[in-house]
């Protein structure tokens, strides 16, 4: 993948909220064909990074590009090339699964035979054949996750941005999601956040470890472990030791 095209490019991303700084200058690149895990403790900036890349949030400073398009100034072109699945898998509970997927396909410009073909493929990959006519509101967490993932695969995007895609799944479902992501092939890239280190180690080519809004490490899990002559989990813990950083200058000490 060394010579592959760069699909995600973050250049010194900064994001400040009224009461805190979520990202303090994060830079990385992800190439086509890569599966990259975004790791870090709660509040380290994982979701903020994904939301910026998904055009849901504008960076305060720095810039990000998806397939060469700026996420701030060319957001529509970016949105044609991405799929974004937030952590809580927001779906419309009153819609049936097949209706929801068809609706999402139409939003992305799919019509007629092409839509039917893409629906078949996404339903098959998501393992949703049994629940196609069920209302989404009646589905279990695992099935809802699958519906969200099937939605992400509908338009064959270049970039998949997945926030905690393994959260709340049972072991069999985790296996299924892992197989699904690994089966995406070399044509796209996946950036996913997770707290499950073992899964990240098994699934990703590289791990980006965020700590307090800054990139603490970016390398293959095996190399990160090797560098400290430890396991990947220990390397992660070493890298994410809370920094003595005042992230909220307006907040009183000890508050």
Interaction of residue 68 with another protein, rule CB under 8 A: no
Binding piece for another protein, criterion CB under 8 A, among 61-69, 98-106, 192-200, 204-212: 98-106
Residues 212-251 interacting with another protein (rule: CB under 8 A)? none
Binding piece for another protein, criterion CB under 8 A, among 19-27, 107-115, 225-233, 241-249: 107-115
Interaction of residue 143 with another protein, rule CB under 8 A: no
Contact 214, 28 (CB under 8 A): no
Interaction of residue 88 with another protein, rule CB under 8 A: yes
Q: Which residue has the tokens 């989404």?
A: 136
Residues 20-59 interacting with another protein (rule: CB under 8 A)? 51, 54-58
In SS3 terms, 163-217 reads as ECCCCCCCHHHHHHHHHHHHCCCCCCEEEEECCCHHHHHHHCCEEEEEECCEEEE
The three-state secondary structure class of 155 is: coil
Between the alpha carbon of residue 53 and those of residues 13, 30, 57, 185, the distances in Å are: 10, 12, 8, 21
Taking CB under 8 A as the criterion, the residue among 31, 46, 65, 104 binding another protein is 104
Give the nearer residue to another protein in terms of CB position, either 31 or 51: 51
Give the nearer residue to another protein in terms of CB position, either 103 or 223: 103
Q: Which residue has the tokens 């307006």?
A: 250
- The region that residue 119 occupies, defined by phi over 0 for left and psi between -120 and 50 for alpha, beta otherwise, is alpha
Taking CB under 8 A as the criterion, the residue among 82, 147, 160, 216 binding another protein is 82
Q: How far is the CB of 116 from another protein (least distance, A)?
A: 15
Binding piece for another protein, criterion CB under 8 A, among 19-27, 73-81, 121-129, 221-229: 73-81
Count the Cβ atoms, other than its own, within 10 Å of residue 55. 21
- Per CB under 8 A, residues contacting another protein are 51, 54-58, 76, 79-80, 82-86, 88, 90-92, 94-95, 103-104, 106-109, 151
């Amino acid at each position: 993948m060394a010579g592959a095209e760069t699909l995600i490019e973050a250049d010194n991303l900064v994001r400040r909220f009224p009461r805190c700084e979520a990202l303090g200058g994060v830079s990385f690149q992800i190439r086509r064909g890569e599966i990259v895990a975004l790791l870090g403790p709660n509040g380290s900036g994982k979701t903020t990074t994904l939301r910026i890349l998904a055009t849901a949030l504008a960076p305060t400073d720095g810039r990000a590009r998806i397939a060469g398009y700026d996420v701030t100034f060319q957001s529509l072109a970016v949105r044609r090339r991405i799929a974004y699945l937030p952590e809580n898998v927001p779906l419309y509970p009153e819609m049936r699964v097949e209706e929801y997927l068809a609706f999402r396909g139409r939003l992305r410009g799919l019509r007629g035979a092409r839509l039917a073909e893409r629906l078949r493929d996404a339903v098959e990959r998501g393992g949703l054949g049994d629940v196609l006519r069920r209302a989404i509101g009646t589905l279990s967490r695992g099935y809802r996750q699958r519906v969200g993932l099937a939605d992400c695969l509908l338009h064959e995007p270049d970039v998949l941005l997945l926030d905690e895609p393994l959260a709340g799944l049972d072991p069999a479902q985790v296996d299924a999601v892992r197989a699904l992501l690994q089966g995406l092939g070399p044509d796209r890239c996946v950036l996913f956040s997770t707290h499950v280190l073992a899964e990240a180690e098994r699934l990703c080519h590289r791990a980006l470890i965020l700590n307090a809004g800054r990139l603490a490490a970016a390398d293959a899990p095996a190399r990160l472990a090797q560098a400290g002559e430890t396991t990947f989990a220990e390397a992660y813990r070493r890298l994410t030791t809370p920094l003595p950083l005042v992230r909220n200058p307006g907040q009183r000490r000890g508050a």
